[in-house]
Amino acid sequence: MFTGIITHIGTVRRIEKSGDTRMTVSAAFDMDSVALGASIACSGCCLTVVDKGDGWFAADVSAETLSKTNLDGWEEGVRINLERALKVGDELGGHIVSGHVDGLAEIVSIVPEGDSRRLTLRPDPSLAAFVAPKGSVTLDGISLTVNEVSADTFGVNIIDHTWKETTLSDRKPGDELNMEVDMLARYVARLLDVREPRND
């Protein structure tokens, strides 16, 4: 589990494709405190550390993950948001995030608004029903509050700190962000979809 509060910016150092795709990421973590098998959210996608060294870790990415996220578009040198897994007793500053990306949201526009930026995004149609005003959403691993919702888009406000301390400042209209819907919304939708058993 994660909180959606980005603590570090990493850089994709190497991408090797053979079977699964292995990605090596430069990171400023104390790697002595990161165990093999640990989970790290990489721009919102929970990946497992399979190798590590001083200032870097490696993770294997399956074809399924590549098909559901923007990781298939990563290149060596790209910056990514990093968050280590939540520990019992840690401050929960964002919201509960699983690191299981549901799909992609395309940036429609980025408009300055005071010292902030207002982003309008278009999610995969299958995810639109899970987005509600004042609800939570995770975009590229960042916990954000939804400001408004229209038929096929929604908006979020990015304060200057978040803009500078995450990779959002690297993004432009047309880019796709990893999107994870709020866990509560996912389970409410599932409960509403349950049908009474038929007595045939």
Domains of the chain: 8-84 (2.40.30.20), 103-190 (2.40.30.20)
Predicted pLDDT of residue 183: 81
Cβ neighbours around 194 below 10 Å, total: 7
* Cβ pair 190, 196 in contact under 8 A: no
Residue 64 burial (10 A CB sphere; 0-12, 13-18, 19+): exposed
Question: Rounded distance, CA 56 to CA 115, Å?
Answer: 34
Spatial neighbors of 179 by CB under 8 A, at least 6 apart, are: 44, 101, 102, 103, 104, 105, 121, 123, 124, 127, 137, 138, 139
Residue 164 has a pLDDT of: 95
Question: pLDDT, tens digit, for every residue of 59-90?
Answer: 999 999 999 999 999 999 999 999 999 876 66
What are 98-136's pLDDT values in tens digits?
999 999 999 999 999 999 999 999 999 999 989 999 999
Look over the chain and give the mean of its residue pLDDT values, rounded to a whole number. Answer: 91
What are the angstrom distances between the C-alpha of 20 and each of 17, 48, 72? 6, 13, 12
Is the separation of the CB atoms in 81 and 6 below 8 Å? Answer: yes
Over the stretch 147-184, which tens digit does the pLDDT of each residue have?
999 989 999 999 999 999 999 999 999 999 999 998 87
